[in-house]
Amino acid sequence: MTEKEKLLNNELKIINIGIEMFADDLEKQNVDVIHVNWRPPAGGDLDILKFLEKLE
């Protein structure tokens, strides 16, 4: 059995980062999934992010 076949024949274990809907859909398919509630720092606002970096 090739490495690819071994990988595809194993049970999936997924780490979902960001959009919770993806994790929900995987759970509905009985896939083992952990959801990480991640958001971009400063809401993705680069000006605020640059300001926050100066505070460190």
Per-residue pLDDT for 56 more than 80?
Answer: no
- Read off the pLDDT band of 8 (50, 70, 90): confident
Q: Is the pTM of this model over 0.85?
A: no
Mark 11-46 as b/e (b = at least 16 C-beta within 10 Å).
eeeeebeeeeeebeebeeeeeebebeeeeeeeeeee
**Strand, helix or coil for residue 52:** helix
Which residues span the domain enclosing 17? 3-55
**What pLDDT does residue 14 have?**
95
User: How many folded domains does the chain comprise?
Assistant: 1
